Amino acid sequence: MTPGNSNHDLFENLRLELRRGSLILAVLASLQTEQYGYTLRKALTDHGMPIDEGTLYPLLRRLETQGLLLSEWREEDKRNKRFYRLSEGGKAIFKQLVAEWQSMNSSLDGIL
Amino acid sequence: MEILESYLRAIKRGLPRAQSDDIIKELSDDLSSQLEEQRAVLGRPLTDEEVFAFFKQHGDPMTVARRYRQDHRSLSLGWELIGPELFPMYGILLSFNLTITIAAVVVAALIMHTPIRVGVFIVPVLAQIICLTVVFSILNLVRRKFPQPWYYPPAELAPMLPVSRWYSLAGLILWATVTVWWLAVPHFPQLILGSGAAHLELAPTWHRFYVPILLLALASVAQRVVSLLHPTWTWVVPVMRTVINAAAVPILGVLMFRSPTLVVLAAGVQNTPSNEQLVENCNGLIRWGILGPWLWLYAGISAVIYAWYCIPHLRRLIRRTRSGSLSVVL
C-alpha cells in the first residue's frame, strides 16, 4: 500500500466516522414530519446529505428499536409504504442532540 | 420484475429471519421507486443490462443483508479468518456437512457391520472442519482484497456477470495440479500410497476408473481455460460443472461403495498380519479420508445446484432465440 493510498483510506475512515453521528441528527430532523424511506432519502440528498439505502434502512430500524422512531405501513400510490416519524421520546432526545450539536459547533468554531 | 425479485431473494437469505419479510417489503418499494424514476428520466423501459447495472451499484446482496444484522459474529485467531458477511453461510454449510458426514459414517459402519467408535468420526469430521475453514478463509481474504465485485450472485442474476478471472485462474491452477498428479500416479504410486508404496499397489479396480477420472479432471481444466479466455460466456460454468459433477456421481459412487478393495499387497510381499493391517488402513484412509462420502455427496449436490444455475441461461437462450439474436448469448 502506498502512503498516498494509506492517507486516503485514513481520511475516508475519519470522514465516515464524522458523518455517522451527523447522519443520525439529519435523519431525526427530517422525521419531524412523517416520511417513508424513499422520500426521506431524497430529502437528505437534496440537503447535501446523500445516504444509500443499505445505510439508511438499517439506521431507521435501529432508531426505531431504540424507541426514537415510530413506523406504520400504509398504502400510497397503490403501493404499501412504511412511514416513519419521531416518537415522543425521539422528539425529546432530538432537542437535546440539537442543543449538544450547537454547543459543540460553537466550541469547534473557537478551536478551528 | 424477475431481476428485482431475484435480487431481493438473495438479500433475504442473509437477513435476520424475524424481520426479513418486513425489510424486503420496504426495500422492494424503495428499489421499485428508484427504477421507476430511472424509467421516467429515460422515457423508456430499462434493458436487462441497465437494471443489472443498477443492482450492481446498489451492492452485493450479502453485503446489503449484513448491514441489517445485529450479530456480527466472525471467526478470528488473532486476525480475521471468516468475516461477518461469510460467517452465517459458513455456519450453515459446516452444520450441513457435519450432519451428512456423521450420518454417512454411521450408515457405512452399519452396512459393513463394523463397530461405531468415536475414533471413526475423528478424521472425516476434522477434514470437514479444516477444509471448509480454509476455503472460507480464502474467500474472506479475496473479499477483503477486492470488496467491489459480487461473488455470490443469485442464480437468476449470474448469467449477466462475467466470470471472474480470479475464479478461472484459481480453478485452472487447482485442476491442472490435480490432473498432473493423477497422470503421475501410475508412475509414482507413492503419490497416493505414501510410504506404503513399498508394500502396496493399487487394486485392478483403479484401472477401470483411471481414464474416466482423468477425463473429468481434463474437462475441469478445459472449463477454466474457456472461462479465462471468454469471461462473458457465462453459460460455460454452470453447463460444464453440471455435466462434470453429474458424471462424477456414478464414478465416485461405484468407486466408493461397489469396490471393496482399492489397495492390495504388492506382488511378492508377504501376507503378514502387519501388512494386512497396512492394507486395511490404506483402504480406509483413501475411502474415508481422500475420497470419502463427502466428495460423492459434494458432486451430487453441486450437480443439482449447477443444473439450477443453468435454468436462467436456458430461459435467456430461448428468449433470445425467439427474438433472433442467438449470437449475443453465445
Q: Where in chain B does DSSP place strands (E)?
A: 75-76, 80-82, 200-202, 263-265
Here the cell at position B129 is 472442519
Do residue A57 and residue B68 have CB atoms under 8 angstroms apart?
A: yes
Residue A76's domain spans which residues? 3-111
Task: Using CA coordinates, name the residue in chain B closest to A55.
Answer: B67
Claim: this prediction has a pTM higher than 0.90: no
Do residue B33 and residue A80 have CB atoms under 8 angstroms apart?
A: no
Confirm if B90 and B74 have CB atoms less than 8 A apart. Answer: no
Calculated CA dihedral for residues A24, A27, A31, A37, nearest 10 degrees: -130
Give yes or no: residues B200 and B276 share one domain: yes
Residues of B in contact with A53 (CB under 8 A): 27, 30-31, 58
Angle at Cα B239 formed by Cα B234 and Cα B243, nearest 5°? Answer: 155
Give yes or no: residues B222 and B277 share one domain: yes
CA–CA gap between residue B218 and residue B215 (Å, rounded):
5
Q: What is the CATH number of the domain that holds A104?
A: 1.10.10.10
Give yes or no: residues B94 and B165 share one domain: no
pLDDT at res. B162? 74
Closest in A57, A73, A80 to B27, CB measured: A57
- This model of the complex carries an ipTM of 0.73
Q: Kindly write down the DSSP assignment for every residue of B263-328, as one continuous string.
A: EEEPTT----HHHHHHHHHHHHIIIIIIIHHHHHHHHHHHHHHHHHHHHHHHHHHHHHHHTT-HHH
Do residue A41 and residue B59 have CB atoms under 8 angstroms apart?
A: no
Confidence grade of residue B323 (pLDDT, cut at 50, 70, 90): low
Is residue B303 assigned to a domain?
yes
pLDDT top residue among B172 and B146: B172
Do residue A38 and residue B68 have CB atoms under 8 angstroms apart?
A: no
Residues B15-44 pLDDT 10s: 888 888 888 988 888 888 888 888 888 888
Tally of domains in chain B: 3
Residue B212's domain spans which residues? 161-330
Helix (H, G, I), strand (E, B) or coil at B39: helix
Q: Is residue B33 less than 8 Å (CB to CB) from chain A?
A: yes
Give yes or no: residues B132 and B173 share one domain: no
Is residue B284 assigned to a domain?
yes
Is residue B154 assigned to a domain?
no
Is residue B156 assigned to a domain?
no
Residue B242's φ and ψ, nearest 5 degrees, are -60, -50
Residue A74's φ and ψ, nearest 5 degrees, are -145, 155
Chosen for mutation from A1, A38, A51, A64 (greatest number of chain B CBs closer than 10 Å) is A38
Give yes or no: residues B200 and B81 share one domain: no
Task: Using CA coordinates, name the residue in chain B closest to A73.
Answer: B26
Closest in A38, A55, A58 to B30, CB measured: A38
Give yes or no: residues B201 and B316 share one domain: yes
Confidence grade of residue A95 (pLDDT, cut at 50, 70, 90): very high
Give yes or no: residues B258 and B316 share one domain: yes
Q: Is residue B63 less than 8 Å (CB to CB) from chain A?
A: yes
Residues B106-140 pLDDT 10s: 887 887 777 778 888 888 889 889 999 999 998 88
Is residue B155 assigned to a domain?
no
Give yes or no: residues B43 and B87 share one domain: no
Using alpha carbons, select from B103, B122, B98, B99 the residue that is nearest to residue B284.
B122
Give yes or no: residues B171 and B264 share one domain: yes
Which of these three, B20, B37, B66, is where a domain ends? B66
| Residue B328 reports pLDDT greater than 80 | no
| Residue B210 reports pLDDT greater than 50 | yes
Q: Specify burial of residue B146 (Cβ count, 10 A radius: 0-12, 13-18, 19+).
A: exposed
DSSP-derived letter for residue A94 is H
Chosen for mutation from B11, B30, B36 (greatest number of chain A CBs closer than 10 Å) is B30
